[in-house]
Chain A
């Protein structure tokens, strides 16, 4: 049972990681990176590492997304709904 859950989580995580590289919208790419961290924290919980899971959920999924989004705002690239960067 645990193995099936892990299979689904790993599949979603790798899919989100590929999306980080291929989404045109940088806001969406940052959101996909946060999804990778969130699924990774669930995997840490499966691996009997609750401390690491808590850290990854707070730091990787929460704070890192906030830092990147604020940086995007300072860079002037935050533009929801528009393709701001043509290159993948």
Chain B
């Protein structure tokens, strides 16, 4: 059995991570799981970036002797990804700190509950009733009077 192509496997791994992270960000209702999904998508993007500088016939960009004997892989994407990983953990720590404040302020991390509570708070501060449904106007205002033409009433 022929061995599969290395580049194809790694591309599918990176794209799979990005897709799984995107789905996770779309479907997760818990804010902490959203942060985890973001970390996964970021890992996939890093893998694709390193892959962009890879050459199948090359060695790591570190000199072992005085002269270059074999071709080396591109060092520029590697330096870029090194930067991106460290910034990623900084962003993650900031997100966790914000989650802690959200939990202190609203007592929940569920996105739908958070939405209703934030809406209630905004409506309470503005002094209007919270919107009960999308079809009913908020603020206790009456329905607009349906326009009837004189021809229909006649």
Instruction: Report A-chain residues with C-beta under 8 Å of the C-beta of B37.
Output: 20-21
* In contact, B20 and A68 (Cβ under 8 angstroms): no
A36 to B4, CA, bound (A): 22
Contacts of A9 in B (CB 8 A): 13
Query: Which of B5, B36, B78, B97 is close to A52, meaning CB atoms less than 8 Å apart?
Result: B78
| B-side interface mostly | helix
Task: Determine the distance from Cα of A71 to Cα of B93 in the docked complex, in whole angstroms.
Answer: 8
The residue in chain A whose Cβ has the minimal distance to the Cβ of B55 is: A48
Q: Are B36 and A49 in contact (CB under 8 A)?
A: no
Interface stretch (choices B84-92, B119-127, B138-146): B84-92
Most buried by B among A37, A55, A85: A55
Whether a CB of chain A sits under 8 angstroms from the CB of B118 is no
Question: What is the interface residue range for chain A against chain B?
Answer: 35 or more
Q: Is B3 a contact partner of A18 (Cβ separation < 8 A)?
A: no
Q: Given A40-B47, A52-B50, A75-B109, does the pair A21, B17 have CB atoms closer than 8 Å? A: no
A67 to B32, CA, bound (A): 12
Q: Which residues of A contact B (CB under 8 A)?
A: 1-4, 6-7, 9-10, 13-14, 17-18, 20-21, 26, 29-30, 33, 36-37, 40, 43-44, 47-52, 55-56, 59-60, 63-64, 67-68, 70-72, 74-77, 85, 87
B-side residues, CB < 8 A to A, are 3-6, 9-10, 12-13, 16-17, 20-21, 23-24, 27-30, 32-33, 35-37, 39-40, 43, 46-47, 50-51, 54, 58-62, 73, 78-79, 81-82, 85-86, 88-89, 92-93, 96-97, 99-100, 103, 109-110
